[in-house]
Homo-oligomer: A and B are copies of this chain.
Amino acid sequence: MTSTDSALRDALFGLMAYRELTTFERLSSDARFSPRLADRAELARLAVTEFEHFELVCAELVAAGRDPQEAMEPFVEHIDGLHERTRPGDWYESLMKAYVLDAVAADVYRVLGVRIGVHADRVARRIQELDAQAEWLTGRLKADLDDERLRSRLALWGRRLMGEALTRSRSLLATTEFGTLLTADEEKELFATLVRHHAQRMSALGLTA
């Protein structure tokens, strides 16, 4: 790895670390408002998975001689902004947020990872986990989606989440260390992929994207 490559790798790990830490915090706060005690535990488990991954990524940064706090800082504003603009109103919106945004994160990690050349390790494992999680979330959400009002509320919420995620991803790619990483074509390709995958995930729930 050249020093540019390793700086980019550390930036990707910083992004992953901060996103996972904040997702942990938000999900576990939301857990309290779950309909049943069992649901609280499920959302909490999801949150803990995010934290465990945060710790693994931090350990890799430390092993590379980097301070995780420093590596995370460039992403604080982006990620905090995304969370602020996507505060779930209840437990279902919280699940949906995890379902939509984790998937966007997995796609962004994947593309940046391939481009930087770290796809084979930590990033790939994380993407696999996120995919498994999405499968669980699909099942959990579908179980309650015969309620028509909930369906239309979540369809709307899904569009809102995706809109915010796209805006934030665009500004992330424009203003951080990843700024010059993707060519204009690659960026277009990434956004097209994000939108296509989102539509697939919504129809997996029987919702319109």
Contacts and interface: CB of A to CB of B under 8 A. Distances in A.
B25 A73 contact: no
Contacts of A76: 37
Contacts of A40: 21, 25
A28 B41 contact: no
A203 interface: no
**How many protomers of this protein does the assembly include?**
2
A30 B25 CA distance: 8
A75 to B, nearest CB: 11
A142 to B, nearest CB: 22
A86 to B, nearest CB: 15
Given A28-B24, A28-B25, A31-B25, A51 B58 contact: no
A98 to B, nearest CB: 15
A54 B52 CA distance: 16
A21 B54 CA distance: 20
Contacts of A55: 41, 45
Nearest to A37: B69
B28 A47 contact: yes
Interface string A70-93: 001100100000000000000000
A168 to B, nearest CB: 18
A66 interface: no
Contacts of A47: 28
Interface in A29-58: 29, 31-32, 36-38, 40-41, 44-45, 47-48, 51-52, 54-55, 58
Those 4 A-B pairs whose CB atoms lie nearest each other, nearest first: A28-B28, A29-B29, A37-B69, A25-B32
Interface of A: 18, 21-22, 24-25, 28-29, 31-32, 36-38, 40-41, 44-45, 47-48, 51-52, 54-55, 58, 68-69, 72-73, 76
